[in-house]
Amino acid sequence: MSAPHSPFTQYLADILTGSKSLVVGLWITLKRLFTRIVTVQYPRQKLTMTPEFRGHIEAIRFDDTKTHHCVACGLCARICPSHVIKVQGEKTKASSLKRGNQYFIDFSKCSLCGLCVDYCPEQTLKFSNEYELVFYSRWDTVIDIMGRLKENR
């Protein structure tokens, strides 16, 4: 059986243990100061979405026309398994083709399947990077695709 520690020895041992834990704690803090920060301070900081991310669909703005290429053929609306696309267009004087001027989707029913994007003959649809959609009512989930294109000029 070992002899009991004197109060002074115990005191020294406590100081050593406390100092060691202080040094270890400071070391961990120091290391964290120089490692890459992975936490995003949302909403002040935003994440960059990966190319695979699927937000709601949106119209692509092309450099040649500075707007979309939708000809209101309606193929996307017909192929959509959720029947959430409403598209309308009108003929212009410059072309025999129609030009899409209204395009709405009900995002609450969209399954993000991508059929509309894949089958659009004008390749004028893509998935957006939008991840901050907030809806306050059932009716807010209807997204005005042409309106958003104009807003994001």
Q: How many residues bind ligand SF4 (CB under 6 A)?
A: 28
Q: With binding defined as CB under 6 A, does residue 113 bind ligand SF4?
A: yes
Q: With binding defined as CB under 6 A, does residue 110 bind ligand SF4?
A: yes
Q: At its nearest, how many Å lie between ligand SF4 and the CB of residue 29? A: 47
Using H for helix, E for strand and C for coil, what is the string for 123-143? CCEEECCCCCCCCCCHHHHEE
Binding track, positions 10-49, relative to ligand SF4; x by CB under 6 A: ----------------------------------------
Q: Where are the beta strands (DSSP E) in the chain?
A: 57-59, 85-91, 98-106, 125-127, 142-144
Which parts of 55-94 interact with ligand SF4 (CB under 6 A)?
Answer: 57, 70-76, 80-82, 84-85, 87
Q: Which of 12, 22, 23, 114 binds ligand SF4 (CB under 6 A)?
A: 114
The amino acid occupying position 29 is T
Q: With binding defined as CB under 6 A, does residue 128 bind ligand SF4?
A: no
Q: Which of 112, 131, 133, 144 binds ligand SF4 (CB under 6 A)?
A: 112
Cβ distance 84 to 102 under 8 Å? no
Structure tokens, 8: 């002074």
* R_g of the chain computed on alpha carbons: 30
Structure tokens, 17: 């243990």
Q: Which of 105, 143, 146, 149 binds ligand SF4 (CB under 6 A)?
A: 105
H/E stretch holding 33 reads helix 7-33
Q: With binding defined as CB under 6 A, does residue 149 bind ligand SF4?
A: no
